[in-house]
A and B are shown apart, each in its own frame.
Chain A
């Protein structure tokens, strides 16, 4: 930005110096002292320089892209003539007493050319400025789009989880009030954690595992013996940074569409480890291949894949497979 703002002053300086040099060359004769010619030309040259500065505002007011050629020619032609005439007039006034002879003709043309040259420089600068602004806008847009994408992919806990859990709390109130209080506490802690982690950029896998462990503990109250869990996370893997709520929707799927679809239930297995500098996480659970909602459950999976893509620049992958009554999701992401 600083060079951009400095350029108009450079233009003024260059035009002034060029005008002064050219007019001095024209008027300097053996019988006149060089210093007196320079002193005479200084002010008119500066005047021309500042008039080119004013041309900048004219250029801004009439952008190349939206202004017709006719209007451009007429306007700049007219202002160039006025500028050059003023510059000659200033010269003549300043040089009172010095014989300027026929020098005004080349001076006039010089004034025209310098002014028009400055106009061209201004247009060039304006174009450069516009291109840079467009680039900045594109960048800003990309950042916004990325944020929107992440927001869209942000995991959402199924609200029915809350309704069902509250139903369980209500049930426990009658028979096991102590457990009811504990369950209410667990629910509050889970949602508090969702809010906290969800607002962060990256969290450790250990934190994410803590979240899903709490989730599974609540579901265990509802499903009883039908739900068991096995979680194995390597020490190295636990320290890895992951986007928050990466596993939560997948584990939710494992319970909602997996365990809940099987009469006798089963185990949700979560394994995370490091391989060749990559973090591998797998979620494995039983699922009835003939369950009714098989189509609708891809959302959690798509969201997880989309969020991973967005935060890893395409370096991470999510694969899902189903066979023999088991559903398996494998995630691989660079450390």
Chain B
């Protein structure tokens, strides 16, 4: 059986997919989700083989949902916007369906899904998360250990600190931990807004108050809220270049 999750914020759109899928005896719908949060949760619970994923949804869009999945199923995007098609392939989606959805097209897509599942080695999802982020990033999505999801608009990030293989995203009065190398995040952010001031620190330059000399060749950035962050020599050079 192809265990499938259908994600769309419009009920009639889910209904149509359900009706079309009913014709395929080897497809079982294990969950129907009306938004991205439900989708991430359901994917964790059901570990589906296939996800039919709408892109335009409130709070978390389809790409963000995909980035939050620990174990990505085969993904087929369903959207009215064909300009997403190229991006869908960039994120290694198996295929995409345009609305209004055609029954025959869905059948062909399912054939590809069956082929994919029949392969001895399931498709690698490595690098998926990195590839799918729209650049520059507008929001960072984080999933807590308890499964709750945080959406942080870039403008609210004060700085990002690296700690081993995780990063800590600092916003006003909150710290969010995420499993991601700091260099990867730095590459996704707008380089005119975020500066790598130190090997372990990414700073939102809007938050910078001033830079002080701390010791010979060593400086400290003082933020508007009073926080102090180390600035390396090359970090200082990058900062000066930007300012």
Please determine whether A292 and B80 come into contact, CB atoms closer than 8 angstroms.
no
Inter-chain contacts of B19 with A (CB < 8 A): 171, 174-175
Please determine whether A168 and B13 come into contact, CB atoms closer than 8 angstroms.
yes
Please determine whether B35 and A263 come into contact, CB atoms closer than 8 angstroms.
yes
Q: How far is B9's CA from A260's CA once the two chains are assembled, in angstroms?
A: 9
Please determine whether B139 and A174 come into contact, CB atoms closer than 8 angstroms.
no
Q: How far is B15's CA from A169's CA once the two chains are assembled, in angstroms?
A: 11
A223: nearest residue on chain B (CB-CB)?
B10
Stretch of B24-32, B95-103, B174-182, B186-194 that contacts chain A: B95-103
The contact of A167 among B12, B138, B139, by CB within 8 Å, is B12
Does residue B123 face the partner (Cβ distance < 8 Å to A)? no
Given A170-B100, A170-B101, A263-B35, A222 and B58 contact (CB-CB distance below 8 Å): no
Q: List 7 A-B contacts (CB under 8 A).
A: A163-B80, A167-B10, A174-B16, A261-B59, A263-B59, A288-B58, A290-B139
Q: Contacts A171-B15, A172-B12 given; 8 further ones with Cβ under 8 A? A: A160-B80, A164-B10, A169-B100, A226-B9, A260-B58, A263-B59, A288-B58, A289-B153
Q: How far is B64's CA from A290's CA once the two chains are assembled, in angstroms?
A: 14
Does residue B37 face the partner (Cβ distance < 8 Å to A)? yes
- Tell me the A167-188 residues at the B interface (CB within 8 Å): 167-172, 174-175
CB A161 to nearest CB in B, in angstroms, measures 9
Inter-chain contacts of B10 with A (CB < 8 A): 164, 167-168, 222-224
Does residue B151 face the partner (Cβ distance < 8 Å to A)? yes
Please determine whether B35 and A166 come into contact, CB atoms closer than 8 angstroms.
no
Inter-chain contacts of B214 with A (CB < 8 A): none
The tally of CB-CB contacts under 8 A between chains A and B is: 67
Q: Mark B77-91, 1 if CB is under 8 A from A, else 0.
A: 000110000000000
The 9 closest A-B pairs by CB, nearest first: A171-B16, A163-B80, A171-B12, A167-B99, A167-B100, A168-B12, A166-B100, A290-B153, A174-B19
Q: Mark A239-277, 1 if CB is under 8 A from B, else 0.
A: 000000000000000000000111100000000000000
Inter-chain contacts of B11 with A (CB < 8 A): 224
The interface on chain A, measured as residues whose beta carbon lies within 8 A of the other chain's beta carbons, has a size of 26
The contact of B13 among A171, A226, A261, by CB within 8 Å, is A171
Does residue B232 face the partner (Cβ distance < 8 Å to A)? no
Please determine whether A263 and B80 come into contact, CB atoms closer than 8 angstroms.
no
Does residue B56 face the partner (Cβ distance < 8 Å to A)? yes
A172: nearest residue on chain B (CB-CB)?
B12
Q: How far is B11's CA from A226's CA once the two chains are assembled, in angstroms?
A: 10
Q: How far is B37's CA from A167's CA once the two chains are assembled, in angstroms?
A: 23
Does residue A197 face the partner (Cβ distance < 8 Å to B)? no
Q: How far is B12's CA from A172's CA once the two chains are assembled, in angstroms?
A: 7
CB A175 to nearest CB in B, in angstroms, measures 6
Interface residues of A, dominant DSSP: helix
Please determine whether B101 and A292 come into contact, CB atoms closer than 8 angstroms.
no
Does residue A116 face the partner (Cβ distance < 8 Å to B)? no
Inter-chain contacts of B35 with A (CB < 8 A): 263
Q: Mark B1-22, 1 if CB is under 8 A from A, else 0.
A: 0000000011111011001000
A interface residue numbers (CB < 8 A to B): 160, 163-164, 166-172, 174-175, 221-224, 226, 260-263, 288-292
- Tell me the B98-150 residues at the A interface (CB within 8 Å): 98-101, 138-139
Q: Mark B54-87, 1 if CB is under 8 A from A, else 0.
A: 0010110100000000000000000011000000
The interface on chain B, measured as residues whose beta carbon lies within 8 A of the other chain's beta carbons, has a size of 24
Inter-chain contacts of B12 with A (CB < 8 A): 167-168, 171-172, 221-222
Q: How far is B98's CA from A222's CA once the two chains are assembled, in angstroms?
A: 16
Q: How far is B153's CA from A167's CA once the two chains are assembled, in angstroms?
A: 31
Q: How far is B35's CA from A168's CA once the two chains are assembled, in angstroms?
A: 17
CB A23 to nearest CB in B, in angstroms, measures 86
Please determine whether A263 and B100 come into contact, CB atoms closer than 8 angstroms.
no
Please determine whether A288 and B101 come into contact, CB atoms closer than 8 angstroms.
no
Please determine whether A262 and B13 come into contact, CB atoms closer than 8 angstroms.
no
Please determine whether B99 and A163 come into contact, CB atoms closer than 8 angstroms.
yes
Please determine whether B9 and A164 come into contact, CB atoms closer than 8 angstroms.
no
Inter-chain contacts of A290 with B (CB < 8 A): 59, 139, 151, 153
CB B149 to nearest CB in A, in angstroms, measures 12
Interface centre among A166, A167, A174 (most CB of B within 10 A): A167
The contact of A163 among B15, B58, B98, by CB within 8 Å, is B98
Q: How far is B16's CA from A231's CA once the two chains are assembled, in angstroms?
A: 31
Q: How far is B57's CA from A263's CA once the two chains are assembled, in angstroms?
A: 8
Q: How far is B55's CA from A160's CA once the two chains are assembled, in angstroms?
A: 13
Inter-chain contacts of A164 with B (CB < 8 A): 10, 13, 80, 99
CB A163 to nearest CB in B, in angstroms, measures 4
B60: nearest residue on chain A (CB-CB)?
A263
A221: nearest residue on chain B (CB-CB)?
B12
CB A132 to nearest CB in B, in angstroms, measures 51
B15: nearest residue on chain A (CB-CB)?
A171
- Tell me the B144-176 residues at the A interface (CB within 8 Å): 151, 153
CB A225 to nearest CB in B, in angstroms, measures 9
